[in-house]
Structure 1
Amino acid sequence: MRRVVLLGRGGAGKSTFATRLGAALDLPVVELDALFWLPDLAPMPAERWAEVQEQLAGESRWILDGDLGPYDVLKPRLEKADTVVVLDFPLWRCAWRALRRGKENRAFWHWLVTYRRRALPVVDAALAEHAKHATVHRLRSPRAVEGFLSRVDQAPT
């Protein structure tokens, strides 16, 4: 694993997972939310976002952490990934985590609640089209995350 894309609904624990995986694999972690949202919390235009990702994905080693829902352009990073991890946790778990971390706007909550019905099919279609060469892991629970990280820690380097 040298180029990892991490996706999943808000509150799934993507950033925590990315940090732990980055430490285990000695890979730099890029939190896409920090790059995508403009100072007024407006989304970056799609064309510019694709360009930013092309630059990021052009590096030889990385974890790109983020799922920007309806604003996202997945193709640039999926085409370069060797591994994709989708954190597909239940709504109740993600909602609880999102509530604990602080205020979110209405658009976030709409995305969170409708993720499996609306966003996940888009993610799955993008994976089928742009990540045929990548190994895809769909983790559905904290136990699955811990098992995955344990296997990574035990793998020979």
Structure 2
Amino acid sequence: MAKVKMTVNGRQVGSECDDRTLLVHFLRENLGLTGTHVGCDTSQCGTCVVHMDGRSVKSCSILAAQAAGSDIVTIEGLASGGELHPVQAAFKANHGLQCGFCTPGMVMTSVDMIRRHGAALDEATVRAELEGNICRCTGYHNIVQSVLAAAAEMGGAKEAAE
């Protein structure tokens, strides 16, 4: 057992966990943050994407102990003061979700994508960068439109404020 401490959604947290506990399970089981989903446990589907030190990562491929000392942002940490993050609002406005299972990972991936690409973000880039996130319901068209709408609303800013 290891005592793991990190900052999650702006709050210092710590909990004991087995050395082989994946970050996704630490967030869900130790911290009760169930917005980060477990889809495949093999890093294929992207439902478990969170931000670690400002970059999107698949939390099923990282041990909680490896994330010790890091700043983690989950889907629960995006909204501010009861107001949706622009990417969350764009997914809602553009019907970028159906069943919602993939949505947290898609949103977290998209926030990082907008941060990195800013005004250079286009449909081809969005489609290429979402290849690591699987959606079985929407066919991706509305997801891509949601990402582009959020990028436009955010002014193509290189910083997607978290």
TM-score of the pair, normalised by structure 1:
0.31
Higher helix share: 1
